[in-house]
Structure 1
């Protein structure tokens, strides 16, 4: 598998904005890699965070919404 720009962490805290935002960016990156995108060439870390922003905002606007995404934990 292609080396992702967002690495896995030792620990994340569900419900913490920074960790939730990171998890959404990580999930988007996995999708891009699966589609054939090349990290660093087709997208940057900032691109991933920009793509994740609407999802993170929606989650914190209405925490009753059920979104499924992966946490980057080893």
Structure 2
């Protein structure tokens, strides 16, 4: 178990060992949910639609994450 501190803006830093173990890289998306007294992070899988501009697929991905 690792202790992390929440900043005044609500930010935390994921420890390097956890990022490495889970293959989380700069720019990756995570989903977050809660269950009683737990916070659950999961690496998100985002499909890119190469036929649409970047802002279109990013908005679509955000909408899909909000509904998963």
Q: Say whether the fold is shared (TM-score over 0.5).
A: no
| Greater RCO (Cα-Cα under 8 Å, separation 6 or more) | 1
Determine which structure has more spread, i.e. the larger CA radius of gyration.
2
> When you count strand as a share of all residues, which structure comes out higher?
2
> What TM-score, normalized by structure 2, do the two folds share?
0.32
> When you count helix as a share of all residues, which structure comes out higher?
1
> What TM-score, normalized by structure 1, do the two folds share?
0.30
